[in-house]
Chains A and B, each alone.
Chain A
Amino acid sequence: ETGVTQTPRHLVMGMTNKKSLKCEQHLGHNAMYWYKQSAKKPLELMFVYNFKEQTENNSVPSRFSPECPNSSHLFLHLHTLQPEDSALYLCASSQEGQGGRPQHFGDGTRLSIL
């Protein structure tokens, strides 16, 4: 149990579907992140939220839309995805503002685009 829960664990969707990924952290952290993990590539940071405010958007296509309603929940809304978007999507949280702190990850959502 990592303290970061992601649902669903697996998702298969067509390119015209709309779906959402959910992340919840039970660690009392103030920052949350979305990462994309593809085979043989380093983790790619997508979005960062600090105290519910988006502080980083790493040139992510608009077909990915994040939402952070409070410091414990993070969503990633998906629409009109492409086959190359198939990957493992990881959520993480950390306690920022006190120097370097580790990020704690969920087990990810394995996304497959048909």
Chain B
Amino acid sequence: DVQMTQSPSSLSASVGDRVTVTCRASQSIRTYLNWYQQKPGKAPKLLIYAVSSLQSGVPSRFSGSGSGTDFTLTISSLQPEDYATYYCQQSNDTPYTFGQGTKLEIK
């Protein structure tokens, strides 16, 4: 099974900050890497698919990059509505696996 390791597990940042979350896969997952945002009590929401493609309706301050085993989610200028938990996920092979999550909190 592919293990997905996210870092950091939690992060405190201020409005306007640039924030980066990293995700490492235990083996190559090609471009089958996706990012989700989840707010308390809500379903996850797809932000970025296939490493770097922005899902329709998602603000352009969100971006993704990487290849092979190392991937990054960047929020260029943090907004109040971005405080949430973020998950990476690989769909290269079953079992699909998620990172453990990064909780983004207000500083």
Q: Do A and B belong to a common assembly?
A: no
Instruction: Show the binding face of A for B, using Cβ within 8 Å.
Output: none
